[in-house]
Amino acid sequence: MSEMFRLNLDVPSDVEIDASEAIDVIKNEIACVRRADNCIRDCLHCDLVMPDHVILAAYQLAIEALRKQIPAAPHVTLMRYTAKETKEELCVPFKECPNCRDKMKTWAFVDKDDSYCKRCGQAINWKED
């Protein structure tokens, strides 16, 4: 279902906006929509008008934050290393965040209480199908 709402807002790469600014922009857009019934549609002279690229950047940031709230299964990766004592080459499965690929846990030590990635905030679904 989430794929149905996948948007490409085509935000220019040089547009940077933080969460606080995004909230202000979206609140401004809400005020604009609420004012619409009494609006004369003279947007060039309206105190609420903002550049499209700023509005798109705010929406993109909001979408990314909301998408991280949808629990996603971690990726499993094998990490190779050589044991110091035996010089034996071993593979240990690691679970990585599906969003930022931060190494989270080894297969044997998954703590199901870690419901969010500590690096990026992605919600994690630890259920194994």
Phi, psi of 25 (to 5 degrees): -65, -45
So what's the pLDDT on residue 2? 38
So what's the pLDDT on residue 7? 46
Concatenated DSSP letters of 67-109: HHTS-BPPEEEEEEEE-TTT--EEEEEEEE-TTT--EEEEGGG
Q: Are 49 and 88 in contact (CB under 8 A)?
A: no
So what's the pLDDT on residue 70? 95
Please report, as a single letter, which amino acid is at residue 25. Answer: V
So what's the pLDDT on residue 106? 58
Name every residue whose Cβ is closer than 8 Å to that of residue 49 and which is 6 or more positions away in sequence.
Answer: 32, 43
Q: Whose CA is closest to 32, among 51, 48, 52?
A: 48
Per-residue pLDDT of the chain (129 residues; tens, 9 = 90+): 333 444 455 656 667 888 899 999 999 888 888 887 887 777 777 888 888 888 889 999 999 999 999 999 998 888 888 888 888 888 888 888 999 998 876 554 555 567 888 889 999 998 875
